[in-house]
C-alpha cells in the first residue's frame, strides 16, 4: 500500500506544477484517504449502488448484507443465495447477475487480490472490468478509495470533468486528450488532486 504524502509535500508539489490545486488543498484541509477492505464487499457495494440514490443504495445493501445471518457477504455465500431472496432485498435481476458474477470471479481466483500490491493500475482495471457490471470508472474508484493508488485520473467522472472545464477554460465537452494533458501536470498525484476536487465540491 503506497504511503500517502502529507499536506506539506502536496503543497510543495502542486506549487510547482499547478497552483490551482494548491488553492483547493488550502480550502479543503488535510487529506482524508485510507485503505478500504475487504475488497469483495467494497465491489459488491459498488454494484448495488449503481444508478440509484445514496439513501436507496444504503437501504438495499443493508438488506442484502442482512441475508447472511451475521456474516459479511462473501463469494461462496453470495453464490449460494437464491435469486428470489436477493430480489426480496430490493436487487434487480440485472444486479443479482452482476453480484453472482463478481462472486464467481473471486471464487475462481480470476481477481488476484493477493497480487494487487505488485500489479500496476491498468492490470488491476483489466481484471475488474471482466466482471459484469464493473466498468472502468468503478475500477478507478476502487483503485483510489480501496487501494489508495496515488496516480489515477478518472476522466469519465462528471464532477472532475466539470471542474476542469470551468477552471481551465475548456470547451463544454472536453475530450480525453485535453483532460489527460491537465492530469499529467499533477503526476504522480493525480488521484490526490482528484480527491481534493471532489472534497471541495462536497463542501
Q: What pLDDT was estimated at residue 1?
A: 66
Domain boundaries, the chain: 7-33+151-201, 39-145
Contacts of 155 (CB under 8 A, 6+ apart): 161, 176, 179, 180, 183
CB 64 within 8 A of CB 103: no
Query: Alpha-carbon distance 57 to 54, whole Å?
Result: 5
Query: Alpha-carbon distance 51 to 80, whole Å?
Result: 26
Query: Alpha-carbon distance 126 to 98, whole Å?
Result: 17
Question: What Å distances lie between residue 88 and 155, 165, 203, CA to CA?
Answer: 36, 42, 36
Q: Distance from CA of residue 130 to its chain's centroid?
A: 16
CB 124 within 8 A of CB 147: yes
User: In the CATH hierarchy, which fold is given to the domain comprising 7-33+151-201?
Assistant: Endonuclease Iii, domain 2 (1.10.1670)
CB 111 within 8 A of CB 147: no
Query: Alpha-carbon distance 123 to 120, whole Å?
Result: 5
Q: What pLDDT was estimated at residue 91?
A: 98
Q: Mark the ranges of the chain whose per-residue pLDDT is less than 70.
A: 1
Q: What pLDDT was estimated at residue 76?
A: 95
Phi, psi of 108 (to 5 degrees): -90, 0
Query: Alpha-carbon distance 49 to 42, whole Å?
Result: 11
CB 63 within 8 A of CB 48: no
What's domain 39-145's architecture? Orthogonal Bundle (1.10)
Q: How far separated are the first and last CA of the chain, in Å rounded?
A: 28
Predicted TM-score of the model (pTM): 0.94
Contacts of 54 (CB under 8 A, 6+ apart): none
Query: Alpha-carbon distance 67 to 33, whole Å?
Result: 30
- List, by residue number, the catalytic residues: 157
Amino acid at each position: 500500500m503506497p504511503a500517502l504524502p502529507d499536506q506539506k509535500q502536496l503543497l510543495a508539489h502542486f506549487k510547482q506544477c499547478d497552483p490551482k490545486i494548491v488553492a483547493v488543498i488550502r480550502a479543503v484541509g488535510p487529506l482524508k484517504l485510507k485503505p478500504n477492505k475487504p475488497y469483495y464487499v467494497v465491489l459488491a457495494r459498488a454494484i448495488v449502488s449503481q444508478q440509484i440514490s445514496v439513501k436507496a443504495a444504503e437501504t438495499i445493501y443493508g438488506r442484502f448484507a442482512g441475508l447472511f445471518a451475521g456474516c459479511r457477504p462473501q463469494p461462496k455465500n453470495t453464490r449460494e443465495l437464491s435469486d428470489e431472496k436477493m430480489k426480496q432485498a430490493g436487487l434487480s435481476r440485472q444486479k443479482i447477475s452482476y453480484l453472482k458474477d463478481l462472486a464467481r470471479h473471486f471464487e475462481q481466483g480470476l481477481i488476484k487480490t493477493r497480487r494487487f500490491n505488485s500489479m500496476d493500475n491498468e492490470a488491476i482495471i483489466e481484471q475488474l472490468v471482466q466482471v459484469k457490471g464493473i466498468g472502468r470508472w468503478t475500477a478507478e474508484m476502487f483503485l483510489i478509495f480501496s487501494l489508495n493508488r496515488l496516480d489515477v485520473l478518472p476522466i469519465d467522472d462528471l464532477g472532475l470533468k466539470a471542474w476542469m472545464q470551468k477552471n481551465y477554460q475548456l470547451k463544454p465537452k472536453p475530450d480525453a486528450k485535453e483532460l489527460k494533458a491537465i492530469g499529467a501536470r499533477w503526476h504522480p498525484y493525480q488521484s490526490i488532486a482528484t480527491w481534493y476536487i471532489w472534497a471541495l465540491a462536497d463542501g
